[in-house]
Amino acid sequence: MAGTAEGQNAKRTFRRYREGDAAQRAWRESIFQASHSHKCPTYVQRTPPCQGSCPSGEDIRGWLDVVRGLDKPAAGQGWQEYAFRRLVDANPFPAVMGRVCPAPCEKGCNRNDVDDHVGINAVEQFIGDTALKEGYRFGPPAKETGKKVAVIGGGPAGLSAAYQLRRRGHKPTIIEEKAKLGGMLRYGVPRYRVPAEVLDGEIQRILDMGVEVRTNCRAGKHIGLEDLTRDYDAVFWGIGTQLGRKLPIPGANAPNCVDGIEFLHAFNAGRLSVVPQRIVVIGGGDTSIDVTTVAKKLAGEEAVAGKPSSYTADTVTAQAASGGAHVTLTTIFPLDNIQASPREVADARSLNVDLHGGVMPVEILLDDKGYARGVRYAACTLDKKNLPVRIEGGKEYEIACDMVIFAVGQKGDMAGLDALNNGRDAIAAGGLFEVAGHPGHFVGGDIVTPHLLTTAIGHGWIAAEGIDAYLSGAEPAKRPKVDKHQFDLLQALHHAGLELSDYNHDAVRGTNDAAFAVHNFENRAEREIIKSSEMFLGHFGPAPRIEREERRLSDVFARGGERIRTLLEEQAVAEAKRCMSCGLCVECDNCVVYCPQTAVKKVPKAQHAIGRYVFTDYNRCIGCHVCRDVCPTGYIQMGLGE
């Protein structure tokens, strides 16, 4: 929850007047100025913070408006499919990302200042699962360009780029060194978090658009940089960071010291079936949590190996939670500020993983055969760059172990690609994700900077736009300050069958009701994110968040299946209705009801579209500001062009 009820009410009860105000304020000085006027209400679109926090740039407010019934689909199309089409404009993996994304959008949600954030992930998972169940497909591109693009790497960045390129009519070919596509989604995320059939279904939907695939083919080995430049019109590099890093401390190269990426790859590929009894994981991020939970899962399976078949699932559950391996997770961060998401940390705690925070490993202790037998730790603090600083005179201790797993970072495998290596086992990207010194080559995903899966998806979209401009010979446009998939009022009017008329270029002045333009509307979405302080939060009553059922990992290990259950349809609709539609009209009628001059009116039903619900009769308007004050979403602003 976002805080106490008293604190929340204090935030959202008042707007212009504060507790203790008794006198009417004079508006004359604010309303009448020589250089500008606060008299005219205008309708200003801004980006909601959920979308501003989404690395893949989803129009979250837009598809939530569809689910809640505010934005209606065209005739012959169900709202479920319409919501899917709106969502996948940015992200072609709603079923996957609804399960695994740590949801920075929810942290940014303005509803946190009312009661609790909207369950965006939960609704996204519902949309994605519905699309797979109903067999929604991606349509063919409007035109074919005949341009060929090599997409190196079949992970989230490469698949996103291939999807966006194909939508624009190009012919992408994904070149993947492994046998299957998916990258970290397949080889780095355990299947109890994302079932294989979900991942396969969303990948196949992209391939069915006409995307070609070459697997078991490694760029830099089976095909060279010169070959790619010669045979394709453009190249996208989304090779990810497939190699883990180890800390530069004594003993780190012992045979039983492995990196977390290698550990998870072996598990997901089916090569890892047993683990030793005592495991120390060094990390603190989501990858380290996946490593610890996989170790506990394998420990539970190993603990009952060879036991009679009469062992029940509850026995397996108990073994997974308390038997087999003893796993310790250590991090340089304090435990109350650990980098992994709260859900993942709770999973680790539920499996009795031993957590140590605020400590740094200083040495891997070796036995007489050169194998790690323990890790020596020292208490530490963090500097301004989040690097550990040993506390002089602080406590030191040892943790005995049979295996050490480093989950402290990743790097790219640049073998055979020296010309692209920036010296840090990565590829440097320009502002438009172009590769400097290699015209027609673009890059995205973890190989630029390791981050979230949703970040890689966003990189793929932006790079695809850059490639499209390059292939057409156009000068790539400067990216906007708020670089997201924005709501488009003109597209909304088109969807409603309300096309603008042609402009005859006659001079006009002032407010005009001609249909060649959208009047009294300003789009600031590409440069402004709306804050809750600019909204009338008192309009929104408390509404508890509808949470997905989350099974304990010990139960998942014992009985199979996945951890998070999808919402029911009525639950998804109810949760979407908690969205406050920040920065866009929510069609609440407040401005119409409270206008003392009846100057604000609904547009005729035949002219209605999302974002075009009311208008102002300026012959009646006296500039009293009431419509702005009671607008819940901050869509009404006083003064044109400010």
What would the pLDDT profile of 462-484 be if each residue is shown by its tens digit? 999 999 999 999 988 889 999 99
Q: Do 237 and 266 reside in the same domain of the chain?
A: no
Residue 590 lies in a domain: yes
Final residue of a domain: which of 375, 393, 409? 409
Q: Do 280 and 387 reside in the same domain of the chain?
A: yes
Using the predicted structure, report yes or no on whether residue 30 has a pLDDT greater than 80: no
pLDDT at residue 41 in the model: 87
pLDDT at residue 10 in the model: 53
- The three-state secondary structure class of 67 is helix
Q: Do 97 and 169 reside in the same domain of the chain?
A: no
- Locate the DSSP E strands across 192-307: 212-214, 234-237, 243-244, 257-259, 278-283
Residue 141 lies in a domain: no
pLDDT at residue 25 in the model: 61
Using the predicted structure, report yes or no on whether residue 98 has a pLDDT greater than 50: yes
Q: Do 255 and 230 reside in the same domain of the chain?
A: no
Using the predicted structure, report yes or no on whether residue 538 has a pLDDT greater than 60: yes
Average pLDDT over residues 141-166: 97
Residue 107 lies in a domain: yes
CA distances to 165, 189, 604, 623, 638 from 169, in Å: 7, 32, 39, 50, 43
Overall number of domains in the chain: 3
User: Confidence band (pLDDT; 50, 70, 90) for 218?
Assistant: very high
pLDDT at residue 339 in the model: 85
How much of the chain, in percent, has pLDDT values that exceed 90?
Answer: 69
What would the pLDDT profile of 43-58 be if each residue is shown by its tens digit? 999 999 999 999 999 9
Dihedral-angle region of residue 262 (phi above 0 means left; psi in -120 to 50 means alpha; beta otherwise): alpha
User: Confidence band (pLDDT; 50, 70, 90) for 458?
Assistant: very high
Query: 161 is in which domain, residue-wise?
Result: 148-242+412-472
Using the predicted structure, report yes or no on whether residue 309 has a pLDDT greater than 70: no
Which of 165-174, 460-469, 512-521, 538-547 is the least confident region?
Answer: 512-521
Phi–psi pair at 212, nearest 5 degrees: -85, 155
pLDDT at residue 622 in the model: 82
Which residue in 557, 542, 610, 554 sits closest to 581, CA to CA?
610
Rounded to a whole number of angstroms, the distance between the first and last alpha carbons of the chain is: 35
User: Confidence band (pLDDT; 50, 70, 90) for 68?
Assistant: very high
Q: Do 266 and 127 reside in the same domain of the chain?
A: no
pLDDT at residue 308 in the model: 29
CATH code of the domain containing 253: 3.50.50.60
Using the predicted structure, report yes or no on whether residue 317 has a pLDDT greater than 60: no
Q: Do 230 and 268 reside in the same domain of the chain?
A: no
d(CA 126, CA 132): 10
Residue 62 lies in a domain: yes
Q: What is the CA radius of gyration of the chain?
A: 28
Using the predicted structure, report yes or no on whether residue 323 has a pLDDT greater than 70: no
Amino acid at 640: L
- Interior/surface letters 437-474, b for 16+ CB within 10 angstroms, e for the rest: ebebbbbbbbbbebebbbbbbbbbbbbbbbbbebbeee
Residue 343 lies in a domain: yes
What would the pLDDT profile of 338-390 be if each residue is shown by its tens digit? 888 888 888 888 888 999 999 999 999 999 999 999 999 999 999 998 899 99
Which of 132-141, 183-192, 226-235, 555-564 is the least confident region?
Answer: 555-564
Q: Do 531 and 586 reside in the same domain of the chain?
A: yes
Final residue of a domain: which of 391, 409, 427? 409
Chain centroid to Cα 381, Å, comes to 30
Q: Do 437 and 493 reside in the same domain of the chain?
A: no
User: Confidence band (pLDDT; 50, 70, 90) for 18?
Assistant: low
pLDDT at residue 462 in the model: 97
- Highest mean pLDDT, choosing among 123-132, 309-318, 330-339: 123-132
pLDDT at residue 480 in the model: 94
Q: Do 428 and 402 reside in the same domain of the chain?
A: no
Decide: 473 and 465 in contact? Cβ < 8 Å.
Answer: no
Average pLDDT over residues 291-307: 66
Average pLDDT over residues 55-66: 97
Residue 166 lies in a domain: yes
User: Confidence band (pLDDT; 50, 70, 90) for 29?
Assistant: low
pLDDT at residue 502 in the model: 82
Decide: 281 and 405 in contact? Cβ < 8 Å.
Answer: yes
Residue 558 lies in a domain: yes
User: Confidence band (pLDDT; 50, 70, 90) for 37?
Assistant: low
d(CA 599, CA 622): 9
pLDDT at residue 311 in the model: 25
Residue 481 lies in a domain: no
Which comes out higher in pLDDT, residue 163 or 625?
Answer: 163
Beta-carbon contacts of 159 under 8 Å, excluding residues fewer than 6 positions away, are 92, 93, 174, 181, 183, 203, 206, 460
- Rounded mean pLDDT of the chain? 88
Q: Do 50 and 109 reside in the same domain of the chain?
A: yes
pLDDT at residue 17 in the model: 57
Q: Do 623 and 510 reside in the same domain of the chain?
A: yes
pLDDT at residue 321 in the model: 37
Q: Do 206 and 285 reside in the same domain of the chain?
A: no
